[in-house]
């Protein structure tokens, strides 16, 4: 994973998500076992995973908007 060694200019080094901010590339995946894939809970698990992706998307939107309040 490529990551900046310093905080990007204009970003607070104490921001709670600074480690995400320093990432240069992002790729999100999850490996499912056959049991997980065929489980009745699959739909709910996918929903939970996408909720986490929404958190990441919100962080990225803050970067675009320049809104870095915690």
Domain boundaries, position 63: 38-70
Reported pTM: 0.54
Q: Count how many domains the chain has.
A: 1
- 11 in a domain, yes or no? no
Spell out the per-residue pLDDT of the chain, length 70, in tens: 688 888 888 888 898 888 888 887 778 899 999 999 999 999 999 999 999 999 988 887 887 787 766 5
Contact between 25 and 67 (Cβ < 8 Å): no
- Predicted pLDDT at 69: 64
C-alpha 47: how far from its chain's center?
15
- 44 in a domain, yes or no? yes
- Predicted pLDDT at 4: 86
Which SS3 state, helix, strand or coil, does residue 3 take?
strand
């Amino acid at each position: 994973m490529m990551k900046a060694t310093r905080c990007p200019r204009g970003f607070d080094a104490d921001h709670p998500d600074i480690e995400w901010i320093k990432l240069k590339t992002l790729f999100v995946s999850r490996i499912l076992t056959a049991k997980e894939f065929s489980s009745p809970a699959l739909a709910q698990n996918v929903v939970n995973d996408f909720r986490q992706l929404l958190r990441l998307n919100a962080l990225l939107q803050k970067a675009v908007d320049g809104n870095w309040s915690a």
